[in-house]
Homo-oligomer: A and B are copies of this chain.
Amino acid sequence: MNLYAATIPQFKRILQNVERWLDKTTAYAESKKFDPNTLLTARLAPDMFPLLRQIQSTCDQCKLTVARLTAKDPPKHPDTEQTIDELRKRLHSVIAYLDTFTPADFDGAAERLITLPFFPEGKAMTGADYLVERQIPNVYFHTSMLYAILRHNGVDVGKADFIGQVTYKDK
In the complex, A108 has a CB within 8 A of chain B: no
Copies in the complex: 2
Contact count band on A:
35 or more
- Closest chain B residue to A127, Cβ basis: B1
Query: Which A126-152 residues have C-beta < 8 A from chain B?
Result: 126, 128-129, 132-134, 136-138, 140-141, 144-145, 147-148, 151-152
B171 & A115 in contact (Cβ 8 Å cutoff): yes
Of B13, B125, B141, the residue contacting A144 (CB under 8 A) is B141
In the complex, A44 has a CB within 8 A of chain B: yes
Interchain residue pairs A-B with the least CB separation, the first 8: A144-B144, A140-B140, A123-B168, A133-B166, A148-B148, A1-B1, A129-B167, A44-B152
